[in-house]
Homo-oligomer: A and B are copies of this chain.
Amino acid sequence: MPRPITLFTGQWADLPFEEVARLASGWGYDGLEIACWGDHLDPWQADDDGYVQGKLDLLEKYGLSVYAISNHLKGQAVCDDPIDARHEAILSAKVWGDGDPEGVRQRAAERMKDTARAAAAFGVDVVTGFTGSSTWHMLYSFPPNDFDAIERGYDEFAERWGPIIDVYDAEGVKFALEVHPTEIAYDFVTTRKSLDALGNRPGFGINLDPSHFAHQFLDTAAFAIEFADRIYHVHVKDSRRFLDGRSSILGGHLNFGQPQRGWDFVSPGHGDVDFEAFFRALNRIGYAGPLSIEWEDSGMDREWGAQDALAFVRRTDFAPSAVAFDAAMQRDA
């Protein structure tokens, strides 16, 4: 049986939730990964049975399943340093409050716990999201880093996220970090360190999104094999490098979609991700969860793209073999 294909609603939060559900259903998606922003899902209302039931009824109306809930934006605030205007812009007034960094971090952490409870209320066992990072701004070591400070960043991450994961464990929900620049884990080395910092507890795993790997020249398929037992959720998103000697791979403080960028997000199948190798790796590790299309391409019509992406995944995500070829050829007449 093929893996279900879902649409991540995060990039559609300008539309009402029902409109997104109606579109996704019409295009043939199997379900949604619901973002906790816009009117799509408010985890603070998850203890309101009517609110939850209303959402579930609406999904049933459109024949859609939910395999994961996303709360990237608040997760980002849990560890970040500095906390500044960029966070104010993406957090609700309740979480931002007076903007005192430590207060923001703690309120964000509480919301992440609530999200576990909301997921449980929805009957969903994975929450995807970000963690933030207190050391990301030290990426390029100049002025020279005190590398002990980098190590302390993992300690701080563990101190802040340990109690959150306790709630996830209690609720029977797993948290899946989207490995991503600006987060505590963004490549092989930092993912290993992050998992180690939390003692490799099962409550904390990975939402594997290959679009953040391609521009780092990382091999997503190898990553899936390496961290096989912690791949809890998968994003289908692509990125493409545009390296002509005049555009930096760093992106260069340019917004997505600006032509001088050295790389950008593109619709799945239009970029540098080797999805066939990636899906073969998912077959090998036995990943049976959803493939969630996080659609973002600043050069393509969004609705055209969401359909193109679905068709691309349907024709690329094949099931593994159940036959041993040697056996079939073993004995002649």
Q: Which residues of A does B touch, CB under 8 Å?
A: 10-14, 36-44, 71, 73-74, 76, 80, 82, 85-87, 89-92, 95, 135-147, 149-150, 180-182, 186-190, 215-219, 222, 225, 243-257, 259-260, 262, 270, 276, 280, 283-284, 296-302, 304-305, 308, 315, 318-323, 325-333
Chain B residue with Cβ nearest A81: B82
**A187-B325 contact, Cβ under 8 Å, with A332-B37, A333-B41:** no
Are B90 and A143 in contact, with the CB atoms below 8 A? Answer: yes
**A298-B321 contact, Cβ under 8 Å, with A10-B329, A86-B145, A248-B217:** yes
Residue from B186, B304, B318 in contact with A300 in the complex, judged by beta carbons closer than 8 Å: B318
Whole-angstrom distance between the alpha carbons of A40 and B332 in the complex? 9
CB distance from A307 to the nearest CB of B (A): 10
Residue from B73, B137, B216 in contact with A329 in the complex, judged by beta carbons closer than 8 Å: B73
- Secondary structure dominating the interface of A: loop
Residue from B136, B325, B333 in contact with A37 in the complex, judged by beta carbons closer than 8 Å: B333
Chain B residue with Cβ nearest A270: B276
The count of identical subunits is 6
Residues of B within 8 A of A245 (CB): 217-219, 222, 244
Are B321 and A87 in contact, with the CB atoms below 8 A? Answer: no
Sample (18) of A-B pairs whose CB atoms are under 8 Å apart: A10-B329, A36-B332, A37-B332, A40-B333, A74-B332, A90-B143, A92-B332, A139-B139, A139-B250, A142-B182, A143-B182, A187-B248, A216-B249, A218-B248, A225-B259, A259-B284, A297-B321, A298-B321
CB distance from A48 to the nearest CB of B (A): 13
**A298-B325 contact, Cβ under 8 Å, with A38-B333, A190-B253, A333-B41:** yes
**A250-B187 contact, Cβ under 8 Å, with A86-B145, A301-B318, A318-B305:** yes
Whole-angstrom distance between the alpha carbons of A190 and B244 in the complex? 16
Whole-angstrom distance between the alpha carbons of A11 and B326 in the complex? 8
Are A254 and B189 in contact, with the CB atoms below 8 A? Answer: yes
**A325-B76 contact, Cβ under 8 Å, with A92-B332, A142-B181:** no
Are A320 and B299 in contact, with the CB atoms below 8 A? Answer: yes
Residue from B92, B283, B319 in contact with A333 in the complex, judged by beta carbons closer than 8 Å: B92
Chain B residue with Cβ nearest A216: B248
Residues of B within 8 A of A219 (CB): 244-246
Residues of B within 8 A of A147 (CB): 255
Residues of B within 8 A of A91 (CB): 332
**A250-B329 contact, Cβ under 8 Å, with A301-B320, A319-B301:** no
Are B86 and A144 in contact, with the CB atoms below 8 A? Answer: yes
Which of the listed residues A44, A91, A315, A328 has the most CB atoms from chain B within 10 Å of its own CB? A328
